A = this chain, B = another copy of it.
Amino acid sequence: MNKPFKLAVKAILLDDHNRCLLLRRSPVCRNFVGKWEWPGGKLDDGEDFASALLREVREEASLEVEITGFGGATTFEMAAVRIVLLCMEARCAQGEVRLSEEHDEYAWASLTDLAHWDLTDHVKPFMLEYANRKGGV
């Protein structure tokens, strides 16, 4: 019996200096505590991926963003499901970063420097591939 596939989204939220927003997972998270990640998460039932992306960034960083492009996609396995992860480029429309309890720190990380961050392991290969493709790493 194959595990079902579920869709998740991540925002590659870029500023004018080719830096992306990273959030650090707090101790309330069930796993990957202390690892850095792009904002995002799984789609709610019946939710389209673009709405999910805007909602997740709003919940996790208190920012209103606009999706600007398609960054790429990757896949990884979790205990009960296989995740297909769509990574969308976005830019900040308004707001200042305020974190939820899910994260305890944020940073604007240069794409050229992304390899030096302690990124979530299952998405790290894609994040570095993306940064490399965009001229970083």
Contacts and interface: CB of A to CB of B under 8 A. Distances in A.
Contacts of A43: 48
Contact of A86 (B45, B73, B82): B73
**Identical subunits present:** 2
Interface in A18-71: 43, 45-46, 48-50, 66-70
Contacts of A48: 7, 43, 45
A45 to B, nearest CB: 8
A2 B67 contact: yes
Interface of A: 2, 4-5, 7, 43, 45-46, 48-50, 66-70, 72-73, 75, 82, 84, 86, 88
9 contacts: A2-B68, A4-B50, A49-B84, A70-B73, A70-B84, A73-B86, A84-B86, A84-B88, A86-B86
